[in-house]
Amino acid sequence: MKPDLFLSNAIFLIIKSFLQVSGFKQLAVICFLLLCSEGGYARNNGNSCAAYPGSFDACLHTAGDSVPTVWRPCISPFIELLGKGFFSLNVDFRRKESHSFSIGVAGIEEGWSPNVMYYHFSGKRHRFEAGGGLSGNFQDGSAVNMVVHGVVGYRYQKKKGLLFRAGFTPMLIVPFSAESKIAFIPWAGVSLGYCF
C-alpha cells in the first residue's frame, strides 16, 4: 500500500471512530488536545514557564541580545453578545502576548453550549485577532450537534483593565443526527470584559 493512501485511510478511521463517541467526550478530548498543543508550542519556542522554577505566573521573554523582560500572563472574564450563541460567559487565558485561549458556556435556543476557543493576535493594545474553536450543543442532557467557530476581528486589551472585542464569527454546525444537515451561518459578535 502506498504511504499516502495508508495515511489517508488511517486519518479516515481516526475521524470515523472520533465521531462515534458522544459529544461531551469529543469536546473533552478537543479541550485536552488544545491545552497540550499550547504547552508544546510554548516549549518549542523557548517560552515555557516550566523552565523558570517558582515563577509560573511570569514567563521570561528575550528578544535577541536585548535585556530580558518579564511578561505576566493574565486572565480575563468576559461576556459576549452573539458570537458563539446569543449570549455567553467566558474566561480568556492569555499566557503569551500574541495568543490566548478561552473556555465558556453559551445560551442557545435549544439549551446550552460549552466552548473552547484559540485566538492569535498582533499589535499592542489595538489588535487584529484571528482564531477558531469548537463547541458542543446540549439539549435535555444529550449532545445535539458540534459547532466549528471562526473569528476575525478587532481586540482592544490592556495588560490590566478593559477587554473589548468585535468581529466576524462564522459558524459551521455539524449535527449528530442523520435527519439534520450541515449548516454554515455567517455571524458577528461583541465582547466586553476585564483583564486581571
* pLDDT for res 50: 42
Whole-number pLDDT of residue 61: 42
pLDDT at residue number 22: 52
Q: What per-residue confidence (pLDDT) applies to 179?
A: 87
Q: How many CB atoms lie within 10 A of CB 78?
A: 20
pLDDT of 178 reads 83
What number of residues does the chain have?
Answer: 196
Please list, residue by residue across 113-142, b when 16 or more beta carbons sit within 10 angstroms of its beta carbon and e when fewer do. Answer: bbbbbbbebeeeeebebbbbbbbbbbeeee
Listed in sequence order, the DSSP H helices in the chain are 3-19, 23-44
Say what angle helices 3-19 and 23-44 make with each other, to 10 degrees.
130
Per-residue pLDDT at 26: 54
Question: Which residue is associated with the grid cell 484571528?
Answer: 130
Average pLDDT per consecutive 10 residues, the chain (196 residues; last block may be shorter): 49 52 53 47 45 38 49 89 90 88 86 90 90 90 89 91 95 89 94 94
Cβ contacts of residue 101 below 8 Å, gap of 6+?
34, 35, 38, 92, 93, 116, 117, 118, 119
Q: What are phi and psi of 46, to 5 degrees?
A: 70, 25
